[in-house]
Amino acid sequence: MSCLLLMPVPAALLAASDTPAIFLLCIAMTMGLLFYTFYFPLAAAAPEKDRRAFLLERKDVVYDNLRDLNFEYRAGKYPESDYRQMRAALEDEAAALLGEIDMLESGAAATGHPVIPPQRKRGPAGQPGKGARS
């Protein structure tokens, strides 16, 4: 196979009349590639989520994290104090999410318009503010 690559190409195969056709073919391929890359809209892009959909997705993530935390605690990966602290933080977040979801659903049902509640205040370094469990 390597000896075929080293052989000179016969002049009859590289006729001067083929050069414009090859050039036009390269231009057409380049234009087609650019058209395909930049012209087509991003149909596969995810639709924009509303607040309720975001909260439901976040609730699922928090529940998964709670389940994983319980499993890892039972496996002995976390000491009791760390487990209680992380569990309390996840439960607080889940409660806040459920409260906000309920508020959105009850506000949307009563008025026909979604209600966006104020954000929950946080203390330093993202820790829950006053009144949170420790």
Contact 94, 59 (CB under 8 A): yes
pTM recorded for the entire structure: 0.50
Q: Which residue has the tokens 């506000």?
A: 107
Higher pLDDT, 31 or 45: 31
Residues facing 115 on adjacent strands: none
Please name the residues in contact with 2: beta carbons below 8 A apart, sequence gap of 6 or more.
Answer: none
Q: What is the pLDDT of residue 88?
A: 96
Count Cβ atoms below 10 Å from residue 71 Cβ, excluding itself: 10
Q: Which residue has the tokens 């928090």?
A: 62
Higher pLDDT, 134 or 121: 121
Residue type, 104: L
Higher pLDDT, 57 or 42: 57
Q: Which of 6-15, 40-49, 122-131 comes out lowest in average pLDDT? A: 122-131
Q: Which residue has the tokens 């977040």?
A: 93
Buried/exposed code over 89-118 (b: 16+ C-beta within 10 A; e: otherwise): bbebbbebbeebbeebeeeeeeeeeeeeee
How confident is the prediction for the chain on average, in pLDDT?
78
Higher pLDDT, 56 or 8: 56
Residue pLDDT, tens place only, 86-113:
999 999 999 999 999 999 988 866 666 5
